[in-house]
């Protein structure tokens, strides 16, 4: 499904490359991991809090670093989901044309888990852990001041920091709305590269959403199959007690069903842990990419409107020319930031997809090996 969206750019392998799935995964990890890392973050130890007003979960965030801008080499704080939402919004305000990693939705994997049960909490913990480490590994976001405050400030300090004045996007709200109305018909002078990005994201969004639906349908069918098999094993065992002539055969069938049941459960775990979250993360990424490209177009649209104004209002030429110069610089900065982040995002996406589907292939191999009945 993703072939048309250029996911297959890295499908050629040299003859000397290991061909087993696990060896390929190890090689990808070896090639993709950064050589030097000075910021390590762990999200763990979920804890429930029940008050008269609400029930919520906090997570421990442990940070270890050797960076000179940090006052200590290790920090431990507790954060709730709303704190992560605040951080994401601050990153979007400070870096409107960078690709900010997605957060898990308020209720993820609908229909599969209940809110605040162990499976839901663990799924969210993994997603929050990945969110922070995506930021830590980003060449620009990792040095954001709000990110540092999120990692180091105690609860009361973070609360105080949140109450400070509105962010950049909030202050520019009226300007953005005004510009938005002027670019609804499309940006006139958008560079071809960003038109191609828009086309890519539209195609990617369609295909990743289809993949998401298919993956969830497969998981649902696997679960139904598993639930049915769980009933058959005991039935054959009970049957064998009343049929002495074929008791051994019936026990053998019961044993084989039990073996298949365990293998199917293992494969379901592989899908729910290694495939579904990755695909859904990139569903969220597709929405983020659309937002980033739209914000770039808003800047471009503002530039275009000033150029048009210059042509029609010569009396204000000097003032508008100065604004055009600033906006040209702003567009160039936005273009450069997005181009760099775009390539980085594509590499991460291709790596994650290769890893996820290779993992599923390995799980399927193990599954069929385990269910072979002699």
Please name which of 279, 228, 281, 298 lies closest in space to residue 257, comparing C-alpha atoms.
228
How many helices (H) does the chain have, and how many strands (E)? 11, 3
Give the model confidence (pLDDT) of 282-304 as tens digits: 999 999 999 999 999 999 888 88
Reply yes or no on whether the pLDDT at 270 is more than 60.
yes
**Confidence band of 60 (pLDDT split at 50, 70, 90):** very high
pLDDT at 12: 35
CB 238 within 8 A of CB 313: no
102 secondary structure, DSSP code: P
pLDDT tens digits, 349-367: 999 999 999 999 999 988 8
C-beta atoms surrounding 27 within 10 Å: 13
Q: Write the DSSP assignment of 57-73 as a string of letters.
A: EEEEEEEEE--TTSSSS
pLDDT at 315: 63
In CATH, the number for domain 185-373 is 1.20.1270.60
Q: Hey, what are 42's tokens?
A: 């762990």
| Axis crossing angle, helix 81-94 with helix 145-152, rounded to the nearest 10 | 160
Residue 91 is encoded by which pair of tokens?
């990153």
Instruction: CATH number for 39-157: choose from 3.30.565.10, 3.40.640.10, 3.40.50.300, 3.30.1520.10.
Output: 3.30.1520.10
Instruction: Tell me which of 60-64, 78-82, 176-180 is least confident.
Output: 176-180
Phi, psi (5° rounding) for residue 204?
Answer: -60, -45
Q: Structural domain boundaries of the chain?
A: 39-157, 185-373
pLDDT on residue 167:
52
- Angle of the 21-32 helix axis to the 317-370 helix axis, nearest 10: 150
SS3 category, 47: strand
Considering the entire predicted model, what is its pTM? 0.74
Q: CA–CA distance from 93 to each of 48, 236, 293, 356 (Å)?
A: 31, 62, 15, 32
CA 111 to chain centre: 20
Q: Which two tokens stand for residue 322?
A: 């100065």
Average pLDDT, the chain: 81
- Rounded to whole angstroms, how far apart are CA atoms 241 and 247? 7
Give the integer Cα–Cα distance in Å for 45 and 56.
Answer: 14
């Amino acid at each position: 499904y993703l072939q048309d969206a250029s996911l297959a750019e890295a499908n050629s392998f040299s003859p000397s490359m290991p061909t087993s799935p696990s060896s390929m995964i190890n090689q990808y990890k070896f090639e993709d991991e950064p050589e030097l890392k000075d910021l390590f973050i762990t999200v763990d130890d979920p804890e429930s809090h029940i008050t008269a007003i609400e029930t919520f979960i906090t997570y421990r965030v442990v940070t270890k670093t050797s960076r000179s801008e940090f006052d200590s080499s290790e920090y431990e704080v507790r954060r709730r989901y709303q704190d992560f939402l605040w951080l994401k919004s601050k990153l979007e305000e400070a870096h409107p044309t960078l690709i900010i990693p997605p957060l898990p939705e308020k209720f993820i994997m609908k229909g599969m888990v209940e809110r605040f049960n162990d499976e839901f909490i663990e799924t969210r913990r993994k997603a929050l852990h990945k969110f922070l480490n995506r930021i830590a590994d980003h060449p620009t976001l990792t040095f954001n001041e709000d990110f540092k405050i999120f990692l180091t400030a105690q609860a009361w300090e973070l609360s105080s920091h949140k109450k400070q004045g509105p962010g950049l996007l909030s202050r520019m709200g009226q300007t953005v709305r005004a510009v938005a109305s002027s670019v609804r018909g499309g940006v006139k002078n958008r560079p071809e590269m960003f038109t191609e990005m828009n086309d890519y994201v539209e195609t990617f969004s369609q295909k990743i959403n289809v993949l998401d639906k298919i993956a969830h349908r497969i998981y649902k069918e696997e679960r139904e199959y598993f639930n049915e098999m769980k009933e058959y094993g005991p039935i054959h065992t009970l049957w064998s007690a009343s049929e002495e002539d074929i008791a051994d055969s019936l026990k053998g069938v019961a044993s084989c069903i039990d073996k298949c049941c365990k293998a199917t459960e293992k494969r379901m775990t592989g899908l729910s842990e290694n495939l579904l979250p990755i695909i859904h993360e990139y569903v969220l990424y597709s929405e983020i990419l659309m937002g980033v490209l739209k914000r770039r177009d808003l800047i471009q649209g503002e530039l275009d409107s000033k150029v048009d104004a210059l042509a029609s209002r010569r009396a204000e030429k000097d003032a508008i020319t100065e604004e055009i110069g600033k906006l040209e610089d702003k567009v160039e900065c936005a273009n450069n930031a997005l181009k760099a982040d775009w390539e980085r995002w594509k590499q991460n996406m291709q790596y994650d997809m290769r890893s996820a589907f290779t993992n599923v292939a390995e799980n399927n191999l193990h599954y069929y090996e385990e269910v072979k009945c002699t």
